[in-house]
Structures are given as C-alpha cells and as structure tokens.
Amino acid sequence: MKTGVISPQARAKALEAMSSGPELDVLVVGAGVVGAGSALDAATRGLSVGLLEARDFASGTSSRSSKLIHGGLRYLEMLDFSLVREALRERGLLIQRLAPHLVRPVPFLYPLQKRAWERLYVGAGVALYDILALSGGGAGVPVHRHLSRVEALKAFPSLRPETLVGAIRYYDAQVDDARHTMFLVRTAVANGAHVASRTEVTGFLREGRRVVGVRARDLETGAELEIRARTVINATGVWTGDSQALLTGEHGEFTVTASKGIHLVVPRDRIAGRTGMILRTATSVLFVIPWDQHWIIGTTDTKWDLDKSDPAASGKDVDYLLDEVNKALAVPLTRDDVQGVYAGLRPLLSAEASSTAKLSREHAVGNPVPGMIVVAGGKYTTYRVMAKDAVDAAVRELSARVPASCTDQVPLLGADGYRAAWNRRAALARESGLTVTTIENLLRRYGTLVDEVLSLIEADPSLGRPLDGAPGHLRAEILYAASHEGARHLDDVLSRRTRIAFETPDRGVAAARAAATLIAPVLGWSEADTLREAEAYESHVIAELAAQQQPDDATADAALRRTTLATAA
C-alpha cells in the first residue's frame, strides 16, 4: 500500500515531474486544509494533480484553529440551518469513516443562568442541533442531556457555583488541525498527486486571457520553475487577494477579510473538569476545550490588517480571554498559568457587517478568467465540500468526462483498520517494548501508520526514548516528521507535526537543539545549518513572548518583527 511518503527525495521528484513532465490537469496553489482537500479530491477522480505551498503545509489558518470539528451552534441563532446541517454531516463523516484516528467526540457543557426560559431556549437549540446531525446522516456523537446544577458542578468542579443554575451537555468533535491537513496531503500523494512545500508562486502563465500554469520559485534552492496546467485552483485563504493580484494587478472578484483569533493553552491541572465548556461573551462565544494534558481557551474575533504570515497575539488579547474565562471559574487563571499562545487568521468573505464576528462562514467558488478557479471563505469543518465545489468548477474548465467526487468514501491514510489497531494497543505495547499510554498517543497521531514509526524504533532502539525537553514525544516522531511527513525546517516539526511549541512550558526551546540534531541527517544539514535552525526557532519564541506583552495589535506586530530581526542579527 502506498503511504504517501513525503521525503526530501520525493519532494525533489515532485518538482521535477511538475516542471518537466506532461501538463497537469489541475494545479492547486495553497496547502491549507482546502487546498490539500482539493488536491485529494482531484487525484481521486483520476486527474493529474500538483499542489504547491509557499511555506509549510497548514502553516497558516489550518494549524491555528480552535481544533474543533463542529456544526457551529452560534450559526443556528443566525438561522443558517443549511450551513449547520452541512457541517454536522461532515463531522459525522470524519468521526465515523474518513479520519477516526484524528477526529474524536468531545463533550461540552453549556452553563445556564436562568431557571426556566433559558433552559427551554437553549435546550430547543441544542435539540435542533442533534436533529440536524441525525437527519443529515452525520451524528457520530451522543445526543445532548440536561443537567442539574449539582450534576453540572460534578462534571466541571472548577465552575463558580453562583454562575449557573444547571447546564446542558452536548457533543462536538476535535482534531489536531495541522496533522489532519498533513494527512490530507499524504493521502493525495498516495493517490498520485505531486506535492511540494516551500515553493512560492510568483506569477501566472497566460495564453491570451487563459491561465495555463504558474511561475514558481523553489525557496529551498532558489530555482525558478514553470509549471503548466489545464486549470489552476487558487486556495490561498487569507492570501486570496494577494494571489489574485498576481493575476489581475488588483484584488479580484473576492474580498477576503482576515479575522484574528487567539488561543491560550494552560496545563490540565489548572482547571478541574471532565468536559469542555462553552460560554457566551458580549460579542461571541468562548470555548474551554480539553486537549490531552492541557486546556485550549479561545477565541477572539477581531479584524487584522497587518502581517498575515505570522499574526501576533497582544497582551490585550491574552487579558481579554483570561478576563472572560475567569468570570466562570472558582479559581481564576493568571498569566503565569498560560503555557502557550497561538494566533491565527480566519478567511471571511467580506460583507456589510459591523464586526468580523458577524460575517458569514459560507464559502464561494469563482472563475475570474479561463483556466483559473478561486475558492474562498468557509470553515475548517466543511473543507471537503469546499474542495469538491472547487474541483467541480475545474472539471467544467477541462471539457472532459471526469468522475464525480468520491472523497466522502475515501478514508485518510491511517484510518483503515484503526479501530482494530486500537483494540490491539496492549499487544502493540508488548511487541514494541513501549507503554500502553505511549502506543495510545501514537495511534491518535498516526493511526495505522504507527507501524512506520515503530519500524524506525525497531531499526534504532534509541529512537524509542522520549525527546529531551519534550517527554510527551518520542525521538522517532521527530525523525519521522522529516523523513515521511514533509517537514523541511525545525519549526515545521515543533509547531505542526508535533505541538511541542505550545505544549511545553518553555514553548519548545529546550527541545529545539535535540530535535534539530535528529532531523539534520535527513535534510542534509551541516552542523552550522543545525545550529542556525535551533537559534532561529529560539529567537522566534523570544519574539512571540515580547509581542504578548504589548498593549495592542500594532505594537505587538512591531515587537514581533523587531525582536526577530534583532535576535537574527
């Protein structure tokens, strides 16, 4: 079985095939979740496919979400029933068929503050949520249940008793977004797609009005490439305007507003609770989400018009989330409890709205010129539908008979046999010499591809030891990230293949040099390269910490750039 290995050698072959081989049917630009999903959709229809990403897979929005696969309760209040039903159907598909190793149910409490009308109002909404999921064939989670105040406090002891009279428990799902996107990419590769990260599109090839490919630069070697394709899909998210400008000299038919959302990561022992929690705020909702040995708290929703490549979280953002969550907690959190912070940008289709919280998460697909498809907007949960719609539009450009989308029937790599492998986890532990807990962690990260990780340990038992500075990960996982998962730089490994960057108290600094040393032979780094990668990562952590002390977006963004430049010098 092909497992879509993305090694340095495979990347080089992919670039050679795209630039020197036959014209592609579809070239996708942007390897966030929608671009990766589009590449998989096209490849599984039998088309020849290329996928280019200027940075790392999922390095933008698709690694910085709330880690939720959900219908969006708040969209019910907006009466957007079709969007909610569509998202709930996708949630069910992911849990039950497409990615059971990566997407799993998680319970949430909705605390109630009024004794009668609120329970009736919220209960009716959550009941409709369950009905929409069941009617769309996409449940995959238990139905909701009403809880008394005593039951709610038992489920979430850290709640302030005076803040609630009861609660409703309902279910959604969570995902490691960056790993899920990477698995989409690998599954596309396993189905024949050519994929290359760190390859920037610098322009479009034209024959008259028609787009017939792209000009690109390999950012690792500096090589200039021309890649010809019958259709190009622009799936660049918050960069949609920038990439459209390469084609037309202006931002094009879609205007995408970037909305910043930040999340705090705190250790699990700072909050006593066996479920997640959803809280209403003055402008939106706040999630408190269980995440292995941590909690994720988020999010904010504010317009962002500064550097999109690395949005900065300010002190104001951090304090806002702490203030909001502390309204519900018996023991308040402080800044000292915050172990990690990450910020991401949502790509919202612009509309007449007073705040980004009110903009729709609906997506749109356009065909601005022959040979070019643009897909924009949407939300993580509905990536597969967005990808299908984009490829449907591309197929109309091809003027050929092409099979319909089948990605609702295509499990991602690692999914086939996952439940049986989970049932065999004790046996896998005995065979490998690892603990059952370690095997469980590996299965949740790799599914049945865990065999590839275990093979590395069998060949070199030292890889079965925990990584120095990040004991929650094995040394083998770091090596595997570069040899099989397309990681090209240290930040790719610590921030996206693993979540060491926000799951360790020092944000991965202690692990940086050990991790860089492990991946150096795979990526052909010299000792100087290895040291430079570690120092660059450490300097970026310093820059992020400096930004988080600033009072607003402008000063935080300036501090992030200034500190990065100073430490690099």
Neighbours of 300 (CB within 10 A): 24
Gap between the Cα atoms of 470 and 499, Å rounded: 10
Find all residues with CB under 8 Å of 124, minimum gap 6, and list them.
Answer: none
Total number of domains constituting the chain: 3
* Residue 188 CA to its chain's centroid (Å): 17
Residue 126 lies in a domain: yes
548 and 471 part of one domain:
yes
Gap between the Cα atoms of 521 and 523, Å rounded: 6
Residue 401 lies in a domain: no
Q: Which of 347, 364, 383 is the last residue of a domain?
A: 347
Find all residues with CB under 8 Å of 223, minimum gap 6, and list them.
Answer: 15, 217
Domain encompassing residue 485 = 460-568
Q: Which of 347, 380, 404 is the last residue of a domain?
A: 347
Question: What secondary structure does DSSP assign to 324-338, as a single string?
Answer: HHHTTBSS---GGG-
547 and 464 part of one domain:
yes
Gap between the Cα atoms of 19 and 39, Å rounded: 17
Examine residue 283 and say whether the peptide bond preceding it is cis (omega within 30 degrees of 0). Answer: no
HSE-up of residue 569 (Cα within 13 Å, Cβ side):
6
For the chain, give me the number of helices (H) and strands (E)?
20, 20
Residue 428 lies in a domain: no
pLDDT of 251 reads: 55
115 and 203 part of one domain:
no
339 and 376 part of one domain:
no
Q: Which of 359, 377, 396 is the last residue of a domain?
A: 396
pLDDT of 357 reads: 39
In this structure, which amino acid lies at residue 313?
A
pLDDT of 136 reads: 73
Q: CA–CA distance from 236 to each of 59, 83, 447, 527, 547 (Å)?
A: 11, 22, 28, 35, 26
> Which residues on adjacent β-strands are paired with residue 329?
159
Is residue 268 within 8 Å of 294, Cβ to Cβ? Answer: yes
- CATH code of 139's domain: 3.30.9.10
pLDDT of 1 reads: 72
- End-to-end Cα, the chain, rounded Å: 47
Read off the pLDDT of residues 465-492 as tens digits, 9 standing for 90 and up.
999 999 999 999 999 999 999 999 999 9
482 and 343 part of one domain:
no
Residue 444 lies in a domain: no
In this structure, which amino acid lies at residue 406?
C
Read off the pLDDT of residues 527-552 as tens digits, 9 standing for 90 and up.
999 999 999 999 999 999 999 999 99
Among 247, 177, 216, residue whose Cα is nearest residue 51: 216
- CATH code of 372's domain: 3.50.50.60
pLDDT of 356 reads: 37
Among 58, 59, 98, 90, residue whose Cα is nearest residue 72: 90
> Which residues on adjacent β-strands are paired with residue 199?
218
Signed CA dihedral, 87, 93, 98, 103: sign only: positive
205 and 325 part of one domain:
no
126 and 21 part of one domain:
no
261 and 333 part of one domain:
yes
Gap between the Cα atoms of 452 and 279, Å rounded: 41
Specify the pTM: 0.96
Gap between the Cα atoms of 534 and 490, Å rounded: 7
pLDDT of 135 reads: 86
Residue 142 lies in a domain: yes
Torsion of CA 242, 246, 248, 252, to 10 degrees: -20
Gap between the Cα atoms of 537 and 504, Å rounded: 14
Q: CA–CA distance from 314 to each of 208, 311, 542 (Å)?
A: 47, 10, 14
Using the 8-state DSSP alphabet, how is residue 404 labeled? P
Low-confidence ranges of the chain (pLDDT < 70): 138, 248-253, 350-361, 563-569
Find all residues with CB under 8 Å of 453, minimum gap 6, and list them.
Answer: 442, 446, 474, 476, 477, 480
Residue 76 lies in a domain: no
The tokens describing 199, both together, are: 């390859």
HSE-up of residue 89 (Cα within 13 Å, Cβ side):
14
pLDDT of 564 reads: 55
Helix ranges (H only) for 332-484 are 383-398, 418-423, 425-432, 436-446, 450-459, 475-483
The residue written with tokens 């910020």 in the block is 343
Three-state SS for 341?
strand
Gap between the Cα atoms of 237 and 243, Å rounded: 10
pLDDT of 140 reads: 87
341 and 291 part of one domain:
yes
249 and 359 part of one domain:
yes
Residue 123 lies in a domain: yes
Gap between the Cα atoms of 3 and 183, Å rounded: 10
- CATH code of 554's domain: 1.10.8
Residue 236 lies in a domain: yes
Among 332, 291, 276, residue whose Cα is nearest residue 156: 276
pLDDT of 247 reads: 79
267 and 223 part of one domain:
no
298 and 336 part of one domain:
yes
HSE-up of residue 331 (Cα within 13 Å, Cβ side):
9
Buried b (16+ CB within 10 A) or exposed e, 183-219: bbbbbbbbbebbbbbbbebeebbeeeeebbbbebbbe
pLDDT of 245 reads: 83
